[in-house]
Amino acid sequence: MRITLLGTGTSQGVPLIGHPNEGLDLSEPKNWRNRSCAHIVSDGAHIQIDAGPEFRLACLKFCVSAVDFFFLTHGHSDHILGMDDLRRFCDLRGGAAIPVWTTPEGKARVEAIFPYGIRPRSERGYVALEPRLAEPDATLACGTRVQTTLLPHGPRFRSLGLVFTEKKSGQRIAYFTDCSEVPDEAVALARGADLLVIDALHRNPHPTHLNFEKALEASRKIRAALTVFTHMTYRADYARESAALPPGVRLGYDGFVWEDGVVSED
């Protein structure tokens, strides 16, 4: 089982445009962050989580060659606007549509933004999508189990929390992005995972995202073998914040790879 973080930045990306980005070492490549998304290979299948504006470039840079299943955590622009670039993966599938699991709000957003890509209207050369409501517990055709839960994303929105279990190895990856808290149900679902990827904006409190303190609190409850922070702002300098984290917790970065319990260091 393998996961590659294609992006680990917040909604505007990192560094910010036209901003001094004070405290951020711009000579460190790990401080340059695409909008958050991830790619999982499990039981031989390619599973994409979200697709921000840099999705195409990230696929080229980090060698993503297929997408069989797609999970949209929610319909905000930094997670959905790269989905048109799934068209190439549709071509590689012989024009077959890619199933997209998401929340009711996410499904409505996909249908509103990509009406030309919804079957049966979609034609060859266009993206072809099959939006579906995510089920609490389902098994993909490849054999991988996917459990979902709704995470509060501030007072108005909900984000899809995901736990993937590979049939072949039994390994489990939990992916909780864009959330302001992790409810007990989500903690129980992810408890003891081999890897937890979790929203962690920066040190300061925020109304719609976990900060480092809250992410660490959730990590202690879930007790994953390894916890990795994602969706970070320019205030999260890689070297400075990495030095302050406890054992078993680390900052993610674009191109971070975890495979069968081992992190591939560059």
Note the pLDDT of residue 119. Answer: 66
In a domain, 182, yes or no: yes
Q: Of 213, 208, 100, which is closest to residue 159 (Cα–Cα)?
A: 208
Report how many helices (DSSP H) and strands (DSSP E) the chain contains, helices first.
7, 15
Residues of the chain by 3-state class (helix, strand, coil), percent to 5: 25, 30, 45
Measured CA angle at 208 (ends 206, 210), to 5 deg: 60
In a domain, 10, yes or no: yes
- Residue with structure tokens 């609490």? 136
In a domain, 265, yes or no: no
Could you state, in chain order, the average pLDDT of each consecutive group of 10 residues for the chain (266 residues)? 99 97 97 99 99 98 98 98 97 94 98 89 80 98 98 96 99 98 98 99 96 98 99 98 98 98 87
Note the pLDDT of residue 123. Answer: 66
In a domain, 259, yes or no: no
Task: Answer whether 148's CB lies under 8 Å from 102's CB.
Answer: no
Which residues span the domain enclosing 242? 2-253
In a domain, 106, yes or no: yes
Q: What is the pTM of this model?
A: 0.97
In a domain, 262, yes or no: no
Strand duo 98-102 + 69-71: pairing: parallel
Task: Please state the domain count of the chain.
Answer: 1
Which residues are paired to 98 by β-bridges? Answer: 129
What is the domain-level CATH number for residue 197?
Answer: 3.60.15.10
CA end-to-end distance (rounded Å), the chain:
19
Residue 215, C-beta contacts closer than 8 angstroms, at least 6 positions apart: 198, 199, 200, 227, 229
Note the pLDDT of residue 121. Answer: 60
Note the pLDDT of residue 125. Answer: 77
In a domain, 261, yes or no: no
What is the C-alpha to C-alpha distance for residues 128 and 218, in angstroms, rounded to an integer?
37
In a domain, 264, yes or no: no
What CA–CA distances, in Å, run from 221 to 68, 97, 209, 258? 32, 38, 18, 21
